[in-house]
Amino acid sequence: MRPAGLPTGECGAFKWDAISAIHALPLTKRIVHHIPLSPIMEARFNGEPV
C-alpha cells in the first residue's frame, strides 16, 4: 500500500481545486494504527539518545 498523497495532474502539478475540496470535507472518523517498536527504536523516534 502507498500512503495517501496530494492529488496531482499528469505533469505532477498539484490540483489545488481537488485539494481544497478534500480539506472542506468534515472529519467523521480517525483511525490510528499502533506499531509496536523496540525500546531502542522508540527512543530514536522520540529524539532520545540511544
- Number of domains the chain is built from: 1
How much is the average pLDDT of 9-36?
Answer: 89
Q: Residue 41: enclosing H or E segment and its boundaries? A: helix 39-45
Q: How high is the pLDDT of residue 49?
A: 76
Q: What DSSP assignment string belongs to 4-40?
A: P---B-TTS-B-HHHHHHHHHSPP-----------HH
Q: Which residue has the higher pLDDT, 22 or 49?
A: 22
Enter the pTM of the model.
0.45
What is the biggest distance separating any 2 CA atoms in the chain, rounded to whole angstroms?
45
Cross-strand partners of 8 = 14
Range of the domain at 40: 1-50
Q: Which residue has the higher pLDDT, 3 or 13?
A: 13
Query: Taking the CA atoms of the chain, what radius of gyration do you get in angstroms?
Result: 17
